[in-house]
Amino acid sequence: MSSTYTLAEIAKWVHGVVRGDASVRISGVAGVEEAEVSHITWLSDEKYAAKLRSSRAGAVLVDARFGETPMAAILCEQPALAIVTILEHFAPPVPRPPIGTHSAAVVAPSARLGRDVRLGPNVVVGENAVIGDRSVLHANVFVGADSSLGADCELWPGVVIRERCELGDRVVVHPNTTIGADGFGYQYAGGRHVKIPQIGRVVIEADVEIGANCCIDRAKFGETRVGRGTKIDNLVQVAHNVQVGPGCILVAQCGIAGSTRLGRGVVLAGKVGVKDHVVLHEGVQVGACSCVSKDIPAGSRVFGIPAVDHEQFVRERAALRRAPEMVEQIKALTQRIEQLEASADDRASG
């Protein structure tokens, strides 16, 4: 049975102030349209206040300057961050294997396990691999020879970390992601594709989170690197020798071709493709379904195929929407010109 808390108790978690009945009891969190009387919901902007009038929520979390609400409210400075704290309190416990090594796990004699490590069933840890303190490897995780994990990492079921890869502290990798597979490199010769050996490695810096079913390929030589604090969504491909800077966001189904460099804080929206050997400098933002084919200067916002400055893209799209009308105008002008020329010819011949 889930725990319930009064609004007074919840307000303390977020350093907020209750407006209304502080004794209302809350058992969970829900969106404004789905919430029931036992739920708390939240709004980050007063322009959505109309949605509250039809909401059944027992309470709402809003900005301290938010207007009146039809239910009790907790007023705080940053609702979008405060709701994270509230969700953490209501979140059910995450099942994890117990501290120690499951009887069905296989750990090489030369591997080193830190303190309070948890290894689930069918985990494989290769020769000379290192697993940092308090790290958790769920069922069917594979860590190859000479790879290392920092402290407090969590690898969910089916994750593969191939040989000679390095993960920093507090790295989270979601199910069925592969780190360190061979980069896609071939030389066409003699009527066939000759595989180029991929002898480099992958380095994932601290505090990176990688979604499910991602592929981060090892370098041809040297290293593929993902910078500290970067967050990667599901189904993202990072090719060999790519350098992803710190604090980047890579949204689902992005594909980054080989030897590309992303500066600090770059954001790639869903389904973005980035050509090989280009540089996206610090703070670049790329809109969804775009294709980046050349270097992009720092702070730019680009969109389209090929990606261009966002304002230019908007102007071009606006002009394109007018194209059918302009075609008719051109036809009319062409007919008018032909008529005028015909009249001029008639006068000249007369």
Residues 65 and 204 in one domain: no
Whether 238 is in a domain gets the answer yes
Q: Which residues pair with 300 in a beta bridge?
A: none
pLDDT tens digits along 109-151? 999 999 999 999 999 999 999 999 999 999 999 999 999 999 9
Q: Which domain holds residue 42?
A: 5-90
Q: Please identify which residue in the block is written with the tokens 């180029």.
A: 196
Q: What stretch of H or E contains 323? A: helix 323-349
Residues 114 and 218 in one domain: yes
- Measured distance CA(211)–CA(270) in Å, rounded: 13
Whether 331 is in a domain gets the answer no
Residues 69 and 137 in one domain: no
Q: Which residues of the chain have pLDDT under 70?
A: 1-2, 310, 313-319, 345-350
CATH number at 128 reads: 2.160.10.10
Hey, CA dihedral for 302, 304, 310, 313, is it positive or negative?
A: positive
pLDDT tens digits along 68-84? 999 999 999 999 999 99
Whether 349 is in a domain gets the answer no
Residues 82 and 113 in one domain: no
Residues 276 and 232 in one domain: yes
One-letter identity of residue 53: R
- Measured distance CA(41)–CA(139) in Å, rounded: 35
Residues 138 and 43 in one domain: no
Whether 333 is in a domain gets the answer no
- Beta strands 301-303 and 308-309: pairing type? antiparallel
- Known catalytic residue at 240: yes
**Residues 240, 277, 281, 310: which is the catalytic one?**
240
> What pTM value is reported for the model?
0.86
- Measured distance CA(73)–CA(102) in Å, rounded: 47
Residues 81 and 119 in one domain: no
- What pLDDT was estimated at residue 45? 76
Residues 153 and 291 in one domain: yes
- Measured distance CA(83)–CA(92) in Å, rounded: 16
- Measured distance CA(231)–CA(21) in Å, rounded: 39
Residues 85 and 114 in one domain: no
Residues 130 and 272 in one domain: yes
Q: How far is CA 233 from CA 54, 141, 218, 225, 273, in A?
A: 34, 20, 19, 16, 14
Residues 150 and 176 in one domain: yes
3-state secondary structure of 197: coil
- What pLDDT was estimated at residue 345? 67
Residues 116 and 73 in one domain: no
Number of domains in the chain: 2
